[in-house]
Amino acid sequence: MEQLVSNGCGLVTQTDWTRKVTSADQKTKTVTFFNGDVKHILEDGTVVYYYAASQTTHTSHPSGLEVFHFPKKQIEKRHPGGKREILFPDQTIKYLEPDGSERTIFPDGTIVHLSPSGEKMVDFPNGQRESHTTQYKRREYPDGTVKTIYPDGRQETKYASGRIRTKEISYHLTT
């Protein structure tokens, strides 16, 4: 059923109770679906879709950028080239790259880099840096000290003075 509302808007109601409202100037359209979902089509081509069941809003921009607003205040942006950006409620930001690498920035200034191969690099606000590989875990301190821990439990600390301290793991077999 098609109607013209007193304010000049066009209203179409379908048999499944889906309603389509076109603004008087024909520049925006709003579709309300029987399940509570709402779709707004704006003049510039931006489409804003609200999913009632999940309380999620999905905005598609003509540039290809997609933005999701989730009910727990998480926001996710999907860029046309495949890059994703997630903003968490605590202000942590995670960037996911098309090559599989990740970068997470925490509110305290800590930055975690994760490579596609699984290697992890952590930069702390106090100047310390930590790297995790399959061969070792290493922490570098601002004074030049470097502490390395190997998978077998051995530890090596190289101090800025040049001194090296090693800790070997001894295994005792008890019967």
| pLDDT reported for residue 17 | 73
15 contact partners, CB below 8 Å, separation of at least 6: none
pLDDT tens digits, one per residue of 90-134: 999 999 999 999 999 999 999 999 999 999 999 999 999 999 999
| pLDDT reported for residue 73 | 96
pLDDT tens digits, one per residue of 57-100: 999 999 999 999 999 999 999 999 999 999 999 999 999 999 99
- The sign of the torsion formed by the CA atoms of 135, 136, 138, 144 equals negative
Domains of the chain: 1-82 (2.60.450.20), 90-169 (2.60.450.20)
Q: Please, are residues 9 and 3 in contact by the beta-carbon 8 Å criterion?
A: no
Closest CA to 80 of 106, 104, 107, 98: 98
The answer to whether the pTM exceeds 0.95 is: no
Judged against a pLDDT cut of 60, whether residue 12 lies above it is answered with no
Ramachandran bin of 70, using left for φ above 0, alpha for ψ from -120 to 50, beta for the remaining angles: beta
